[in-house]
Amino acid sequence: MFRLVYGICLYDEIKRKSDTKIIGLCTNSCQVIEQEASKSRSYTLSISELNCLGDEAVKALAVALYKNSTLTYLNLSYNSRFGNEAVTILAKALSENTTLTNLDLSGNRLGEFAGKAFASALCKNTILTNLNLSVNILGNSTRKALAETLCKHTTLTNLNLSNNGLDELAVKALAEALCKNISLTNLDLCYNRLHESAGEALANALCKNKTLTSLNLGHNILRSAEAFIEALHKNTTLTELNLEWNDLSVSTRRALDLQSRVPLSSIQTDSAIQTHSGIHGPGNPNEFKKKSKTWRPSTFKKDKSKFTNC
C-alpha cells in the first residue's frame, strides 16, 4: 500500500519504504531523490497528478534512474509540464536503466518529440514490460517510430496508446508491426479516431500475430467489424476484444457472437445501436468499462467457405 509523503520529507522515506507515493513535490525535493537514489530500497515510486513536475525536477529523476538498482515501477502521470530537454534526458535514462519494468507517463501532453524519443529508447531497453502513454497527443507523426519499436522490442507486453489522436495512418503502421512482434499481449487503442480501414488493418494483423491476448478498440468510429469476424476464425490467442461504441449494427454484433470460439472469453460491444460517431479529444479511457455489455460467445462452428480474405 502506498504511503503519502509531502515534498522534502521523502529524504528518509525513500531509503526505507518499498512503496512510496509523493505529492506536493518541488525541484529541491527531486534533487534529494537524485542524491539518495543509489541508497533507496524503493520498488515503487509514484509522483503523479499533484506535482506539476518541470524540467529540472524530471532531470533529477532521470539521474536517479541511472543510479537506482531496485526501482521497478515509476508513475509520472498527469504532471503535464515536461519540456523537450527533460524528455530527452528521461528517454536516455530509460534506454540504459536495467531494473524498471513499469512506466506510466499518461496525461502529460506528450507530443511528437516525446513519442519519438521514448520509442527510440525502447528499442535499446530490454527490461520494460509495461508502458502507459495514454491521454497524450502523440498523433500520427510518431507512427513510424512506434511501429519500429514494436518490431524490435522483445519484452514489452502491455502498451496503452488510448486517447492520443491516432488515426488510420498510425494504426496501419502499428498493425504491420504486430505481424512481426513476438511479445505484446495487451494493446489499448480506445478513444482515438480509427475508421473502418484501421480496423481492417488490425484484423489482418490478428491473422498473423501469435501473442496478443487483449485488444481494446472501444470508442472509435469503426462502424464495421466484418474483418474481425474473419480474423477470429484464424487467430487462436486473442481472449478479449473490445469493440464497443463503434456504431456497430445489431447484425454485426450478432455475427461476432456466433463466429467467435471458445478461447475468446469475451467480446465487448454495445447494448444498443449507437447514434454518435466516436469520441474526439480528451476523455476518460476507462469510462467504457462502466457502460459495457460483455457478450459470451457461442461455441465456434467452423465454416471455412466463408473465410477467404484473411
Q: Are 185 and 277 in a shared domain? A: yes
Residue 149 lies in a domain: no
Q: State residue 118's pLDDT score.
A: 94
- The arrangement of strands across the sheet holding 266-269 comes to 3-6, 19-23, 44-46, 73-75, 102-104, 130-132, 158-160, 186-188, 214-216, 240-242, 266-269, 293-295
Q: Are 185 and 81 in a shared domain? A: no
Residue 189 lies in a domain: yes
Q: Are 17 and 134 in a shared domain? A: yes
For 59, the domain range is 1-112+126-139
Residue 281 lies in a domain: yes
Q: State residue 291's pLDDT score.
A: 37
Cell numbers placing 285: 479511457
The DSSP bridge pattern shows strands 266-269 and 293-295 to be antiparallel
Find the CATH number of the domain harbouring 168: 3.80.10.10
Residue among 10, 23, 61, 17 nearest 42 (CA):
17
Q: Are 93 and 170 in a shared domain? A: no
Q: Are 95 and 230 in a shared domain? A: no
Q: How many CB atoms lie within 10 A of CB 158?
A: 17
Q: State residue 39's pLDDT score.
A: 57
Residue 121 lies in a domain: no
Q: Are 162 and 75 in a shared domain? A: no
Q: Are 100 and 163 in a shared domain? A: no
Beta-bridged to residue 251, according to DSSP, are none
Last residue of a domain, one of 139, 174, 194: 139
Q: Are 43 and 166 in a shared domain? A: no
Residue 212 lies in a domain: yes
Residue 30 lies in a domain: yes
215 three-state secondary structure: strand
For 40, phi and psi rounded to 5 degrees? -65, 145
Q: Are 257 and 309 in a shared domain? A: yes
Residue 28 lies in a domain: yes
Q: Are 90 and 171 in a shared domain? A: no
Could you list the pLDDT tens digit for every one of the 310 residues in the chain? 444 444 444 444 444 445 655 555 555 556 665 665 555 566 788 877 756 677 777 787 888 788 778 889 999 898 877 788 889 999 999 999 999 999 999 999 999 999 999 999 999 999 999 999 999 999 888 988 999 999 989 999 999 999 999 989 999 999 999 999 999 999 999 999 999 999 999 999 999 999 999 999 999 999 888 899 889 888 999 999 999 999 998 888 888 877 655 456 677 876 433 333 333 333 344 443 333 333 333 222 333 333 333 3
Give the C-alpha separation, 205 to 197, whole Å.
Answer: 12
Q: Are 59 and 6 in a shared domain? A: yes
Instruction: Please state the domain count of the chain.
Output: 2
Residue among 224, 199, 233 nearest 308 (CA):
233
Q: Are 283 and 228 in a shared domain? A: yes
Residue 117 lies in a domain: no
